[in-house]
């Protein structure tokens, strides 16, 4: 099947080519993201393959459908960028990669936590400049601290398991509690207790209308002073302006994010020679206690292999009229 792959990168092309070693599909790569302006590139393609910041709203889906597209394959887990109701109305199928490697994202969340707590990024920069001073590099022992996991699904559970290994008390919040989470030795807690007790809060829930800005001025005011906040899930879980205020006041002790609400305008490209107009990200990266990575939590060899294989398996299943195991539908 002809597949138009939007937001494609050189490293993904390699993994997609390996997954398509039998040459079953014809993969056509477009570096541009899918938007209302670029949707026309997919004319004549029965399938499009998109990533986290491609836009598949009603307008874009209508344009794709008019061009003959019937399948939208997300090569990621989150699907907040697709209007599922519009897809259903237009008779289009939407698939994602449900479970590629929860370890990749959970381990990145741990890496961010260790780096922000022990100021690894500051030490790295200092020692490269022959500055071996330790001023400003004090962290805290993780063992014995309380770590809150918001969203105890696949990634949240792996993250919780790792933190239990560090000797932390792990508490969680999820409207759909999981026995597996409790079986690890963690327990569920009300949002009030999370705010009161958590030294570290790590976000692992999807972005939905309910979770939009789940971290806001009000929730931050109830957080334990000096708590660290980690977000590897979706940028809009956090009200960035409120977080900046909490960092300025010291209410928040540090922030490490792999995702950012306005990341679609920034991430996955080299803007080092450009004047960035987004004042919020510029303010964030100016803090000594903030780390930003550019949506790379999934970026392991294992995850990329599974993402590409699953995506092409879904395309084959669609082409052959089989049941789509990874289909997502409007609730
Ligand atoms: P999952 O579906 O297994 O788990 C999500 C959990 O969040 C579920 O248990 C769900 O009940 C819970 N949840 C829903 N609403 C909630 C709320 N209001 N409060 C607390 N919990 C809530 O998903 P997963 O595979 O663990 O992935 C989690 C998220 O991680 C994805 O939605 C995606 O946005 C993000 N993600 C990021 C990257 C990255 O590279 N940074 C990669 C993959 C996934």
Give me the residues of the chain with pLDDT under 50, please: none
As a whole-number percent, the residues of the chain with pLDDT over 90 amount to 96
CATH code of the domain in which 272 resides: 3.40.50.720
**Distances from the Cα of 251 to the Cα of 219, 260, 261, 293, 329, angstroms:** 11, 20, 21, 22, 40
In a domain, 203, yes or no: yes
205 Cβ inside 6 Å of ligand 1: yes
In a domain, 324, yes or no: no
171 and 257 share one domain: yes
Q: What's the pLDDT tens digit per position in 10-46?
A: 999 999 999 999 999 999 999 999 999 999 999 999 9
What is the Å distance from ligand 1's center to 219 Cα? 19
Q: If you take atom 14 of ligand 1, which residue's CA is the nearest one?
A: 205
The tally of domains found in the chain comes to: 2
* Residue 232: strand, helix, or coil: coil
- The answer to whether 205 and 232 have CB atoms below 8 angstroms apart is no
88 and 227 share one domain: no
247 and 113 share one domain: yes
Which of 105, 171, 210 maximizes ligand 1 atoms within 8 Å of its Cβ, making it the mutation to test the pocket? 105
In a domain, 328, yes or no: no
Point out which residues pair with 49 in neighbouring strands. 5, 73
What is the Å distance from ligand 1's center to 187 Cα? 18
Look at residue 229 in the predicted model and tell me its pLDDT. Answer: 98
Q: Please identify every residue annotated as catalytic.
A: 234, 263, 295
Look at residue 110 in the predicted model and tell me its pLDDT. Answer: 98
In a domain, 327, yes or no: no
pTM, two decimal places: 0.93
108 Cβ inside 6 Å of ligand 1: no
36 and 168 share one domain: no
66 and 111 share one domain: no
For residue 250, give the nearest of 220, 270, 273 by alpha carbon.
220
In a domain, 153, yes or no: yes
Look at residue 99 in the predicted model and tell me its pLDDT. Answer: 83
């Amino acid at each position: 099947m002809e597949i138009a792959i939007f937001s494609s990168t050189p490293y993904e092309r390699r993994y997609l080519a390996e997954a398509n070693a039998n040459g079953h599909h014809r993969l056509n790569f477009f570096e541009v993201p899918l938007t209302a302006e670029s949707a026309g590139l997919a004319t004549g393609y029965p399938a499009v393959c998109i990533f986290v910041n491609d836009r598949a709203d009603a307008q874009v889906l209508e344009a794709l459908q008019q061009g003959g597209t019937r399948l939208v394959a997300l090569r990621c887990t989150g699907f907040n960028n697709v209007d599922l109701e519009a897809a259903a109305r237009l008779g289009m199928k939407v698939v994602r990669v449900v479970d590629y490697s929860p370890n990749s994202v959970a381990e990145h969340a741990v890496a961010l936590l260790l780096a922000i707590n022990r100021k690894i990024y500051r030490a790295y920069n200092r020692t490269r400049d022959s500055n071996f001073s330790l001023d400003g590099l004090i962290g805290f022992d993780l063992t014995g601290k309380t770590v809150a996991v918001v969203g105890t699904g696949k990634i949240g559970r792996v993250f919780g398991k790792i933190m239990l290994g560090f000797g932390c008390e792990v508490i969680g919040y999820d409207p759909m509690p999981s026995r597996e989470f409790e079986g690890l030795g963690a327990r569920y807690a009300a949002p009030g207790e999370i705010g009161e007790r958590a030294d570290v809060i790590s976000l692992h829930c999807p972005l939905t209308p309910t979770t939009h800005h789940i971290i806001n001025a009000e929730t931050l005011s109830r957080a334990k002073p000096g708590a660290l906040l980690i977000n590897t899930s979706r940028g809009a879980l956090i009200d960035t302006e409120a977080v900046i205020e909490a960092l300025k006041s010291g209410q928040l002790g540090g922030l490490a994010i792999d995702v950012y609400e306005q990341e679609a305008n920034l991430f996955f490209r080299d803007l080092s020679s450009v004047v960035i107009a987004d004042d919020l990200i510029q303010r964030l990266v100016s803090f000594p206690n903030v780390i930003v990575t550019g949506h790379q939590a999934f970026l392991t060899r294992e995850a990329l292999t599974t993402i590409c294989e699953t995506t092409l398996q879904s395309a084959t299943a669609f082409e052959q009229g089989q049941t789509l195991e990874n289909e997502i539908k409007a609730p």
